[in-house]
Amino acid sequence: MNLFTDLREKCALLYLKNKSISREKCMLYLKDRSILTIILAFTIGIALFEFGAIILINRFNLNESEAYSLCEKTLNEQHYDTVVKCLKGFVKKFPKSEKVVDVMYSLAISHQNQKNFSSESKVWQQIIQHNNPVDPEKVQEAYYNLGICQENLDNIDFALKSYEVASKGPNEPIANKALFSVGRLSEQQNLDSKAALVYHLIMTKFPKEESAQEAANKLGELNLKHLPSENQTTYKVKRGDNLISIAKRFKTTVPLITEANGLDNTSIKIGMDLKVPQMRFGLDIGIEDKLAYLLCEGYIVKQYLIATGASDTPTPTGNFSIINKSKNPTWYSPDGPIPPNNPRNQLGTHWMAISNEETQKRGLGIHGTNKPETIGQNVSDGCIRLRNEDIEELFALISIGDAVRLMEHLDSRPWYSWVDEVKNEDNEATSD
C-alpha cells in the first residue's frame, strides 16, 4: 500500500467515525476521486479545528477576554483534545492573568476526562505552586485532587501525603473527604493504628456528617480485628477437653477460639497450647437511635444498625441477658411454625433470646431478617432485628449470660482502641 492509498483509507475511516456512514459504503467512496476530495477537505478541517484554538490564541493576538471565551466554548463542547490545546495556549500567553488558575483547573479536569493522569498531576502541582500561600482553599482543593490523581497512578505514598495536606486545610468538606481518604489508604497499607486514629478523629471533628458513620463502621472492623490478640490467654488442652467446654470455662465462644488459633475445624489434641480470647461482651441498644453498641469493658467496640418494635408491639426497655442462641431458627408465627430458609421466616439466619423476670414468657430476642430494607424502622413484634451478616458476627462474639440493655437513647461512651493515643483522649473526655 503506497502512502497516498494509506492516507486515503485513514481519511475515510475518520469520515466514517464522524458521519456514521457504513464501512462498506465508505470504502466504495474511495474509488470516487471527487468524493475523496470531500473526505480530504473534511479531514483537513478536523485537523485545523484541533489546532485552530491554540493558533488563534498565540498567532492572531486574541485579547485575554476573547481567549478566555474561546476556552469556555471549547470546554462546553467537551472536545477535550481541543480543550487541552486551547487551555495550554491561554496559560502560555497570559501567565499572569487573574483567570489563569481557573483555566489551569479546567485543564487539569480535561486531562482527568482523558484519563491522562500524569499530565493532570503536573497541572495540580502547578496550581499549588501558583497559589501557595495566596489562596489556601484552592491549594487545599488542588492537594485533594492531586491525591485522587496519584491514586489513579498507583502512587499510594504520594497520594497519602497529598490527602494529609488537604485534610489540614480551611475548607471543612474537603478536609473531611481528605481525612477519610487518609484513613482508607492507611488501612490498605496495613497501617491499622494510623487508620484507627484517623477514623476516631473524623468521628470527633465531623460527628454529624455521613463520613462519621462510615468512620465508625471502619473503626469497628479494626477493633474486632485487633481486640482478640490484645485480650487473650494461653491454655494447655487436657484429657476430656473440647472447644465447647473450654469456651464455657473462659466465658467466650467457640468461633473466637477457632479464629484466634487458625483452626479449620473443632479438633484439638491433648497438650496443645490454645490461645483463648478473654473478652466479655455486652450490648447497649438504643430503641430511638436504631443503633446497637457492642461493648467490651465499657468501651464501644462496634455499632450496628437495627430495627425495633412497631407502634402496637413496642420494644421494651430494661436490663436483660442472653439466655439461648440458635442457628437457622424456626419462626413461630401467629399462623404456625415457619421453618428455616423459608422466605416467610422473619428471623433470618440466627437468633439470640433475651430475657429478664418480666419477659420470660414473651419470646423476646435479637435476630436477623428476611427484609433487610426494614433496618432502621419500627416494624418488628418487639424484637431487635439486624441484617443477617451483622447478627452472624454478633452470634460468634456474644456468649450466653452476656448483658443486654435496652433503652430509649444510648448513653455517651468512649470507643475501644488498642491505640494508646485514642485511649488517652477518650479518658480525658470522660473525666471532663
268 plus 342 within the same structural domain: no
328 plus 397 within the same structural domain: yes
Read off the CATH number of the domain in which 186 is found.
Answer: 1.25.40.10
For residue 238, tell me if it sits in a domain.
Answer: yes
Task: Report the alpha-carbon distance of residue 272 to residue 236 in Å, rounded.
Answer: 6
Helix axes 117-131, 136-152, angle to 10 degrees: 160
165 plus 260 within the same structural domain: no
Task: Report the alpha-carbon distance of residue 167 to residue 342 in Å, rounded.
Answer: 49
Segments of the chain scoring below 50 in pLDDT: 1-8, 10-20, 46-51, 53, 56, 59-60, 424-432
| Three-state DSSP state, 411 | coil
Domain boundary among 277, 293, 310: 277
Answer whether 66's CB lies under 8 Å from 89's CB.
no
For residue 386, tell me if it sits in a domain.
Answer: yes
User: Which amino acid is it at 57?
Assistant: I
308 plus 398 within the same structural domain: yes
Task: Report the alpha-carbon distance of residue 153 to residue 94 in Å, rounded.
Answer: 30
pLDDT of residue 68: 81
Task: Report the alpha-carbon distance of residue 262 to residue 353 in Å, rounded.
Answer: 29
Task: Report the alpha-carbon distance of residue 171 to residue 160 in Å, rounded.
Answer: 18
Helices (H), 169-295: 172-188, 192-205, 210-230, 243-249, 254-261
Domain residues for the domain of 158 are 115-219
Instruction: Specify the DSSP class assigned to residue 289.
Output: T
403 plus 327 within the same structural domain: yes
- Cell numbers that stand for 162 in this block: 497529598
Read off the CATH number of the domain in which 399 is found.
Answer: 2.40.440.10
Answer whether 251's CB lies under 8 Å from 226's CB.
no
Q: Is the dihedral of CA 380, 383, 386, 391 positive or negative?
A: negative
**62: Cβ contacts below 8 Å, ≥ 6 apart:** 56, 70
262 plus 317 within the same structural domain: no
Q: Which positions are catalytic? A: 367, 383
The DSSP line for 160-179 is HHHHHHHTTSS-HHHHHHHH
187 plus 273 within the same structural domain: no
Answer whether 146's CB lies under 8 Å from 125's CB.
yes
For residue 142, tell me if it sits in a domain.
Answer: yes
Q: Tell which residue, 281, 280, 277, has the closest CA to residue 292.
A: 281
- How many domains does the chain contain in total? 4
